[in-house]
Chain A
Amino acid sequence: MDEALLRSLTPGVLAVLVRRGADFAAAEDAVQDALVEAVRSWPGEQPRDAKGWLVTVAWRKFLDARRADTARRRREDLVDQEPAPGPAPAADDTLRLYFLCAHPSLTPSSAVALTLRAVGGLTTRQIAQAYLVPEATMAQRISRAKRTVSGVRFDRPGDVATVLRVLYLVFNEGYSGDVDLAAEAIRLTRQLAAVIDHPEVAGLLALMLLHHARRAARTAPDGSLVPLAEQDRTRWDTRAIAEGVGILQAALARDRLGEFQAQAAIAALHADARCAEETDWVQIVEWYDELVRLTDSPVVRLNRAVAVGEADGPRAGLAALAPLDAALPRHAAVAAYLHERDGDLTTAARLYAEAAHRAPDLAERDYLTRRAARLNARR
């Protein structure tokens, strides 16, 4: 029994049922029943058209389930008598599923869970493990999400930006348990890129590949954080980098710039440098200017200040930092780094300690605490 095959077919089958008008939750139940059926009967002889087989069985299960509800029988019979629609391009179905899972009525966490379930074909247990919550909690989160989108009809194209945001959320969750969410996000974004022609989908895919390529070098064996400048660049995944750069270049050539493409361009410039000193900071600052123009986000301005500090010196970086709100995440860390490079070690040590206190995760807090300790010991 080819589990990977079943997992890759599941979203398409689900999408067909949803397109035929099945309620999302009922469609999912029917697909699960069909999968059980497949596990039972395929070891004997696997059908030639595996997806067609699953669609037929799932649709039959769906109709059976509805017919069993006697109060609704008459209405369901009418549905049953409608001829099944002819084959439609699978691409449209899958896309519909993406938009359904990223529906604006869902909270980000529900959208992420539903996407992993419906588009990714992960089990509830796998998703729960990845998010370190009990399976029952995740099951409720998913069924609430399904209820929320039940009855949502798709007569107009959804917002691609929302779908991309959900996929980026999945990517940023990293991994735990037996599912690597970053790899899963890349797989899903690849699928999306195959069914929709949009430069920002390509931009996000490139961005994910470029970040993912550096993952092995990003943490030391003891789990501590290795900053970009100190990373062992021979451990970067050059194949992923090459693929990311290729996808990005094709997207940029279409001249419809968006924030994911701009971020990917910055990541590509980092990936391009053989050592930290060779980094083209001037061009990185230019891309940050584009990003500021596209998003005008304070976090982007903060990152830009770092790049300015590298391109034009720490004083210029501090000047770029000055107008920004000190309460921004990582503001203290950036200020500490720029002061350190400027030679003001006392201020830098104080700011590193402050940044450590506000760090959002363990690895970052340890890293910043060490920086502060190193400077304090030297004074």
Chain B
Amino acid sequence: MAKYLLLKHYRGAPAPVNDVCMDQWTPEEISAHMKYMHDFAARLEKTGEFVDGQALAPEGTWVRYDGEGRPPVTDGPFAETKDLIAGWMVIDVDSYERAVELAGELSAAPGAGGKPIHEWLELRPFLAAPPTITE
């Protein structure tokens, strides 16, 4: 078993095929998109492959330690060009192939016109504690 993180991006990822900004979708299209992802998560719960998932706000702040006794440096709320994570889901699956299959399915969430957005998702394996080492 291996855990993978599926990352959705606000920006920073390559443009999806069906590239229409969400604020230009109809409310029904947005509902359909949300329902798709909700159903996806519910199905993975049933297959025993779901671990966790959350949506994230588009506002992100970069923070950095700036030395003893000094306040941390932040770049303010105006992130212009950086990659921003829109949400994530953690799955626990039998194989890399299964993780790719599920990510592909999630990427097909419907967007404008009810058509799949073909969004790029990032798939990252978790680094875990070491198993038995066969020296």
Contact = CB atoms under 8 A, between A and B. Distances in A.
Contacts of B135: 214, 227-228, 267, 270
B128 interface: yes
B1 interface: yes
Contacts of B134: 211, 263, 303
A133 B129 contact: no
A137 B127 contact: no
Contacts of A107: 94
B131 interface: yes
B51 A134 contact: yes
B118 to A, nearest CB: 28
Given A108-B94, A228-B135, A363 B130 contact: yes
B91 to A, nearest CB: 10
Give the one of A112, A131, A141, A362 with max B CB within 10 A.
A141
Given A109-B1, A133-B51, A134-B52, A361 B131 contact: yes
B119 interface: no
Interface string B46-72: 111111100000000000000000000
B129 A362 contact: yes
Contacts of B133: 211, 218, 225
Contacts of A131: 1, 92
B85 to A, nearest CB: 21
A142 B46 CA distance: 10
Contacts of A174: 129-132
A109 B130 contact: no
A137 B92 contact: yes
A288 B50 CA distance: 39
Contacts of B46: 140, 144
Interface string A224-241: 010110000000000000
A144 B92 CA distance: 15
A361 B127 contact: yes
Contacts, number: 81
B45 interface: yes
A174 B134 CA distance: 13
Given A109-B1, A144-B46, A144-B47, A133 B131 contact: no
Given A131-B1, A137-B92, A110 B48 contact: yes
A107 B47 CA distance: 11
A364 B45 contact: no
B132 A172 contact: yes
Contact of A225 (B50, B94, B130): B130
Contacts of B3: 132
B97 to A, nearest CB: 12
Contacts of A270: 135
A103 interface: no
Interface of B: 1, 3, 45-52, 92, 94, 127-135
20 contacts: A108-B1, A109-B1, A109-B48, A109-B92, A112-B1, A131-B1, A132-B92, A140-B46, A140-B48, A141-B48, A141-B49, A172-B132, A174-B131, A182-B132, A263-B134, A270-B135, A361-B129, A361-B130, A361-B131, A363-B129
Interface of A: 107-110, 112-113, 131-134, 136-138, 140-142, 144, 171-174, 176, 182, 211, 214, 218, 225, 227-228, 263, 267, 270, 303, 359-365
Which 6 residue pairs are nearest across A and B when measured between Cβ atoms?
Answer: A141-B48, A228-B135, A172-B131, A362-B127, A361-B130, A363-B130
Given A112-B1, A133-B92, A173-B131, 7 more contacts: A108-B1, A113-B48, A132-B3, A132-B92, A137-B48, A172-B132, A173-B1
